[in-house]
Structure 1
Amino acid sequence: MRRAAPFGPNLFASVMGTGIVATAGAAMPGLHTPATFVWALDALLLVFLVAAALKRWTWATVRAQLADPVMAQFWGAPPMALMTVGTGALLLGKDWIGMPAALAADWTLWTLGTLLGLATSVLVPLRMIGSGERAFGGWLMPVVPPMVSAASGALLAQHLPEGPRQAMVLGCYALFGVSLFATMVIVPQIWQRLVQHGLGAASTVPTLWIVLGPLGQSITAANLLAGVPVLPGQTAFGVLYGTITWGFALLWVALAAAVTVRTARRGLPFALTWWSFVFPLGTLVTGTSALARSVSSSMLHGIAIALYGALVLAWATVAVRTTRAFR
């Protein structure tokens, strides 16, 4: 009999990946209805995983997972899963459940995800101090949630009156900073490990794609926040920051793709880390779409559509492999 896989926070990466296919699809021409169906599937998946977590996890289980230097990093997945479904409710689910219910769902999931994400941004890096562990792409997972909060919060801010709207936007920029500067600390460590110690186990290679997460999500956040003008220079910041970061993101795509192909030729066994191919790529799609709207660029719109095609292919592949693994 095959032993059941442990139920860890990394399973919520499937919600993140499925959700980004839905939310990115909301900006694609002619895909609003199919994207809404994907969001509904993702919402059901989130409910299922939360119910399973409440049934299986105890405080001792959580402490054991946080003590594991690898599994601890994936505690960033649950808050991002919550906020991804919430954003989908506002962008897509409103057509089925109505705007009041969509707003209520998004505010609830955004609040829970933001609080949990801030906790992971502090507790998990704190746990790594003095551990002697080598950095890998998964180290970014605990610090990306505040950037997701910034992007998702920009959409919620549009529904607030003037005073609270300004406070919300300022808070989102602060969350933007939390994730951005933490990313700037961690990415050089990942690069140093690659240079000095090589790639490591094949199962960790997909986590290189996680670097795209804060990059693409920050482009998305910067340009979505520009759509809620309460401060001078927001649009200029979104375009300039977004364009510069977009260029580096494409460089990282080329590096990660080359490493992935080279590893796959030697053997790349399936693991839940394969979901690292999906959500980070999805953030690049949403970032490219947001930047394209800011500068009215048909070229960027075309690139966003092409990237979305790659995203759907990656999601379908990983979803099928995950289903087979847990069947």
Structure 2
Amino acid sequence: MTATAPVPRARRLFRDVPTGRALVSAVTPNWFASVMGTGIVATAAVTLPGSPAPLRALGLVAWLLAAVLLLVLLVATALHWLWHPQAARGHHLHPVVAHFYGAPAMAMLTVGAGALLVGIPLLTEPVAIAVDAVLWTAGTALGLATAAAIPYLQFTRHEATPDAAFGGWLMPVVPPMVSAATGALLIDHLPVGEARLTLLVVCGLMIGVAFLSTLAILPQIWGRLARHKVGPAAMVPTLWIVLGPLGQSVTAANQLATHAPAAVDGAWAGAITIAAVLLGLPVFGFALLWLTIAIALTVRTARAGLPFALTWWSFTFPVGTCVTAASGLALHTGSTLLAVIAYALFALLLTAWATVAIRTFHGAVITGRLLVPSPAA
């Protein structure tokens, strides 16, 4: 009588993907959108008008989770380059994946800002400032590089069909706007004088880099929708990315208005505040219009079937920037309406984050299917 070989026990985690090097075979830059989407929950929670203690506690938990995700993805990306160098070197030439190189930069900037906004009780103020300074510097350098390099590749190497424009085209040019919004937090911690003024000016320059680039891209996305309609269901969530530069531009302007008094005299600081409100209100109004359109298009697509993909993280960070935009405008105008809108958008953000986070955990950790490279990639 021969003994039968023991039947291997089924794995509870990563069920559908081999372990080892295969776990990092499909680590693309868009994975960092999960850090952005989680980190923005923290910054949005603590910047809401009159943010109560429970929301600040929620913000701390979200920031810690975002920081852990950032570390995991940085390690996974390094291993991806080490073990799968050919695939990694091809990302910048992929006409879709290349645009998401803006995500790692924004992930670092978001976690850095969270260190100052919610991390001080855990880190102490000097450590929080140091963490933010390091992440802001690295994120800004990477973001400025992608803002120039990816459009250059798009203009010279990438092949684009007439219906190619999508929300992801904004990803490489938005990081300087995030740098401007988060850099404003560091102004108060620099030596009085030229250092503060220099950072204020640099942040203003980066708003121009991102906002004017956005104005060049938005008409192409609108035109593509008008001429070629919505397109594949999997790409519909990327329409929400449009909210990112809109909300972040308003956030950046209002953050600079808040911290400008530390860098310039009262007259200039007052002028910056007036400009932030006068320019921020119309931009925020258009953001609300686009949000309405994006919701309608998403609901329409979901009725026919909206497959889950990492693009679902587009439902989080862009909405979060609208929360911080509404909060900033409410702070500088005293408007109750804007405060109510900020809390309503935050509720939408929490709902979106919970939905996407649960689906991502299941697809990445339980089944591992998100870790398997797409045949089309």
Q: TM-score range by the shorter chain?
A: over 0.9
Q: CA deviation at 1:33?
A: 1.6
Q: How does 1:179-198 map to 2 (within 5 A)?
A: 179-198=210-229
CA distance in 2, matches of 1:77, 1:255: 24
1:40 equivalent to 2:40? Answer no
CA distance in 2, matches of 1:239, 1:196: 35
Is the Cα–Cα contact under 8 Å of residues 234 and 311 in structure 2 kept in the other structure? yes
Q: How many residues align?
A: 327
**1:155 — aligned with what?**
185
* Bigger helix fraction: 1
Among 132, 156, 159, which residue is 2:160 paired with?
A: 132
In angstroms, what is the RMSD of aligned CA positions? 1.3
Runs of 5+ unmatched residues, structure 1:
none
TM-score by length of 2: 0.84
Q: How does 1:270-281 map to 2 (within 5 A)?
A: 270-281=308-319
Q: Give percent identity, aligned residues only.
A: 52
1:92 equivalent to 2:124? Answer no
Q: CA deviation at 1:37?
A: 1.4
Deviations 1:135-193 (A, max 9, x none): 10100000110000000011111212221111100000000000001000001011111
Which protein has greater RCO, CA pairs closer than 8 Å, 6+ apart? 2
Structure 2 counterpart of 1:41, which letter? L
Among 31, 42, 46, which residue is 1:22 paired with?
A: 42
Matched position secondary structure for 2:119: helix
Q: CA deviation at 1:200?
A: 1.3
Q: How does 1:1-327 map to 2 (within 5 A)?
A: 2-3=16-17, 6-28=26-48, 29-30=51-52, 31-58=55-82, 60-129=86-155, 131-133=159-161, 134-160=164-190, 161-227=192-258, 228-229=260-261, 230=264, 231=268, 233-326=271-364, 327=366
Runs of 5+ unmatched residues, structure 2:
1-14, 18-22, 367-377
CA distance in 1, matches of 2:77, 2:120: 27
CA distance in 1, matches of 2:89, 2:145: 14
After alignment, is 138-147 or 231-240 more displaced? 231-240
Is the Cα–Cα contact under 8 Å of residues 29 and 104 in structure 2 kept in the other structure? yes
CA distance in 1, matches of 2:231, 2:89: 26
Structure 1 counterpart of 2:59, which letter? A
Q: Where in structure 1 do 4 or more consecutive aligned residues deviate above 2 Å?
A: 1-5, 58-63, 130-133, 229-232
Q: CA deviation at 1:60?
A: 4.0
Structure 2 counterpart of 1:272, which letter? L
**2:375 — aligned with what?**
none
CA distance in 1, matches of 2:224, 2:132: 38
Deviations 1:229-272 (A, max 9, x none): 32351011100111010100000001101000000000000000
